[in-house]
Structure 1
């Protein structure tokens, strides 16, 4: 998997949220959280696993809403940031963080009601293998996102620290099928790529985002979207 060593660095973990979700990046954080909450629906007492939980943005959010949630990540420093975030949110006793390999999940079949991964599949060398393992431990739902090949993301992908795996629509649908899942819903967003939002202040990002959403609601906008959210059933 790409980026394993990069994400292990303490300085990367400490700066991760600030670099990605400050300034205009707050709009990205808001949209991603809405995507997860909309897909999972009511989560109180639902058993949920987050793959590649990183600094616990979603893990803590779901714990605050009553989910029985476990966050798994390969990076010790990222998990430490997540634990500190859980303590600040006063949910440290109601969730679990664990270090592990997403290709070999240490859980029995059908153990969770839902399993999801955000910002993970762009790093995956063998996406079907990872998605199949996610499906194995879920009794109902698997949710994930991808970055799209035929979008503005491809224009600067080579500048990123470890690059990204980009997916065409048909490829993403194929890995869902190959993992034994049935696609329930797909949404596509952000014609303007994430890198732009992170680089500009709120007063610039806000109007651009409103225009982005308007364009994204059209057929042309959906075809140019940089990000897709895939909601599948076991």
Structure 2
């Protein structure tokens, strides 16, 4: 897994949300959270597993909405940030954070109603293994996102310290089928890549996001999108 040691550094965990989801990055945070909520639907009393939960952005959000949720991550410092976030939100007794390996999930088959992973598959060295494990423990739904190969992301991906694994739609189709899943829905977004939004203030990011969204509604939207959200079913 790319960046495994980097994500386990305490200073990285402490600064993770601030560096990625402040300034224009708030637009990314809102869009990702909405993608999860749209895909999972009502979550009250639904048993949910989040893979690579990091600092608990989504874990805490879904716990606040009544989900019976478990967040799993390989980084102890990231999980500690998540526990603090859950405590501040008053849901620390409504969720569970676990340290573990997504390639060997410590759960029986069909244990969760839904399993999802955000900001995970771009780091995956063996994506088929991870997706197969997610499908194994899911009773109904598997949801995840990818960064796209033929997009603006590819223009600067080589500059990033760890880079990202980029996916074509045919590769995702193969992964989904190989995991014994079928694709129920997909969404494609962000012609302007994430890195731009994180680097600029709100007043710059807002107008760019409006233009980005407008392009996304045209026939060019899907082929130019740098991010895709995949909703698969067992």
Pick the TM interval, shorter chain.
over 0.9
Structure 1 residue 167 corresponds to structure 2 residue 173: no
Structure 1 residue 227: Cα displacement = 0.1
Partner residue of 2:17?
Answer: 17
CA distance in 1, matches of 2:18, 2:7: 15
The one-character-per-residue Cα deviations of 1:143-165 (angstroms, maximum 9, x if unpaired) are 00000000010111112221100
Residues 103-126 of structure 1, C-alpha deviations (whole Å, 9 max, x = no match) = 000000000000000000001111
Query: Corresponding residue for 1:3?
Result: 3
| Aligned residue runs from structure 1 range 36-185, under 5 A | 36-185=36-185
* TM-aligned CA deviation for residue 23 of structure 1: 0.3
- Which string of whole-angstrom CA distances, capped at 9 and with x for unpartnered residues, describes residues 154-179 of structure 1? 11111222110000111111111111
Supply the distance in 1 between the matched residues of 2:218 and 2:117 (Cα, whole angstroms): 27
Q: Per-residue deviation at 1:222? A: 1.2
Task: State the TM-score, normalizing by the size of structure 1.
Answer: 0.99
SS in structure 1 of the partner of residue 146 of structure 2: strand
**Worse-superposed segment, 213-222 or 97-106:** 213-222
Check if 1:215 corresponds to 2:215.
yes
Superposition RMSD on alpha carbons, in Å? 0.5
Distance 2:192 2:65 in 1: 31
CA distance in 2, matches of 1:77, 1:137: 25
Provide the C-alpha distance between the structure 1 equivalents of 2:104 and 2:66, rounded to a whole number of angstroms: 27
Q: Distance in 2 between matches of 1:191 and 1:138?
A: 31
SS in 2 for 1:42: coil
**3-state secondary structure, aligned to 1:2:** coil
DSSP-derived class of the 2:79 partner: helix
Unaligned runs of 5+ in 2: none
Greater CA deviation, 56-65 or 166-175? 166-175
- After TM superposition, the runs of 4+ consecutive aligned structure 1 residues lying more than 3 A away are none
CA distance in 1 between partners of 2:71 and 2:86 (Å) = 11
SS of 1:92's equivalent in the other structure is coil
**Tell me, which stretches of 5 or more residues in structure 1 are unaligned?**
none
Specify the SS of the correspondent of 2:220. Answer: helix
